Structure formats: structure tokens, C-alpha cells
Amino acid sequence: MSWTDERIDTLRTLWEGGQTASQIAEALGGVSRNAVIGKAHRLGLQSRPSPVKPNEPEAKAAAKPAPAAKAAPPPAPPAEEVPFDTAPPAPPAPPAAPKPATPVAMADDDVDDADDEAPAASPAEARPAADVPVMRSVGPGGFLRQNPGEQAAPITPAPPRRLVPAKPSEAIAGKTSLLDLNDRICKWPLGHPGEPDFHFCGDKVNPGFPYCVAHCGHAYQAQLPRRDRRPPPPLPYGGPRVR
DNA sequence: CCCTGATTCGC
DNA sequence: GCGAATCAGG
């Protein structure tokens, strides 16, 4: 196979669309994953986070001061994820509102007092605004001192929940779909095409076969000469009138 | 083990 | 230019 304009275009589209090199190679056909990667690089499609290259070699001498000053979120791919629609701009909550510092209860086993906090507010994870490096002084013993106003700040109101459509097909979630098939996973169908939960076995194949070992046992059965077959198979337990 | 992308280097 | 081989992290 050669890199026709059309195939290059497909490669570009899929690569920038976040498909992995393997997926692209399979979609194109006739090329290996390495070919796809090599071509992508030659095309200058270099981006995309690599699991092996966290950053460029720029961490030499001055690496201590402010590692948190990286305000570069990923290039916001056209992914179809729709989590919450809560507004991301977390209010930095500058040092203000010097609240009289309600002491945090140390014991958790209290059931009697429930006077603070709104009852409907689920704390979940208090997201600190991580875009501003927080400076703290160090107290004796090494603990980090709390900054003024820091205590009351990070309580975010419970974000409004909104129901969003679940991802495709709940019945098939986690199952091996047609798109997941490749040379090394079992293609034994489970269910029937058209049914909502139709999927494939997905186990590792018996090498050289399209199915796993177990399903090869279904697909390929030894054929004995007629006279050597055993007509009366053993009656299973639970059979009709076993006696 | 499986996966991933990056890089090298002979063709 | 191409891509298999190899590397290296998850």
C-alpha cells in the first residue's frame, strides 16, 4: 500500500481526532501501527501526548521554583465527553472574608450536632484553584501554615446536576464490539446481530485461530469415522427420566 | 503481558 | 520516503 492523498487525509483526520496509531492502521488497512506513526511524524502531526514523553527536555537546573505554573491545558480535543456543565472558572477566593474561623471537628463519630454546612451540599472533592501557585510558610516541625482566609474559601457550592444521555448502549458497555475486533481477540459472537447487547467474546485467541481456546472447541470438532462414533452419548444428569 | 507513541536506521 | 525494529512509559 502507498500513501495516497486520500489515505494521508484519513490519517490526518483520525490522528488529530485522537485515534490511536493502531486504530488508524487498522482503519486504513495494509499498514502497520509503526507505519502510521512514522508517517504521522513525517507529516508533522507530532503532537498528541505520548506516554513516554511527558515533556520536552527543559528541566535542567531551575526545576524547583514553580512547577505549578503550567497553565496549559490539553488542546481540548473534539472529544464527546459531556460531564457536568458547571462553570470551570473556579473563583480564586483571594485572602478576604476573615471569618471567625470555625474550628474543624476532629472527631468524626458525632451524630448529635449538625449545625454547620448546608445539608444538601455534597462536599465531594473541594477543587482548589490550582492555577495560582500557593505559597505557604513552614511552621516548626515542618507543617505548612495555613494562609489567612484559606480555611473558609474552598467550599464550592454543589454544582447543579443535569441529566445527560449515557454513552452509547448501556447493555454493551464494556463488551467487545465489532469495532474492537482484531487479529488477537476472539470473534465468537454472543447474542445476535441487531440485538442491543450483541457483542463478541473478546478473549485472547487460540493462536492461529479466530477464536479463543474455548470457542475453538465449539467451532472445530473432531470428526471420527462413522463406525467409530459413539452414538449413545452419556445421559446428562437432570435428563428426562434418568433411571 | 498488554497497550501506547518516539526514535532509529537500513532500505 | 518508508516502515520494521527497538525503546521506554503506563
What is the distance between the terminal CA atoms of chain A, rounded to a whole angstrom? 66
Residue A204: pLDDT band (50, 70, 90) is confident
- Nucleotide minimizing C1' to CA distance for residue A38: C3
Q: Which SS3 state, helix, strand or coil, does residue A53 take?
A: strand
Point out which residues pair with A199 in neighbouring strands. A190
CA A185 to C1' B2, whole Å: 12
Q: What's residue A203's pLDDT?
A: 84
What's the rounded mean pLDDT across residues A204-223? 74
What was the pLDDT predicted at A18?
87
Residue A182: what pLDDT? 78
Protein residues contacting strand B, judged by Cβ under 7 Å: A 20-23, 33-34, 37-38, 40-41, 46, 48, 50-53, 182, 184
pLDDT score of A110: 45
Residue A216 has pLDDT above 50, yes or no: yes
In this complex, the nucleotide whose C1' atom is nearest to the CA atom of residue A56 is B6
Residue A101's contacts (CB-CB under 8 Å, 6 or more residues apart) are A151, A152
Burial track A83-110 (b if 16+ CB lie within 10 A, e otherwise):
eeeeeeeeeebeeeeeeeeeeeeeeeee
| Residue of A4 and A167 predicted with greater confidence | A4
Cell reading at A7: 489515505
CA–CA gap between residue A88 and residue A191 (Å, rounded): 43
How confident is the model over A91-98, as a mean pLDDT? 40
Nucleotide nearest A36 (Cα, C1'):
C3
Task: Name the residue closest to the C1' of B1 by its CA.
Answer: A204
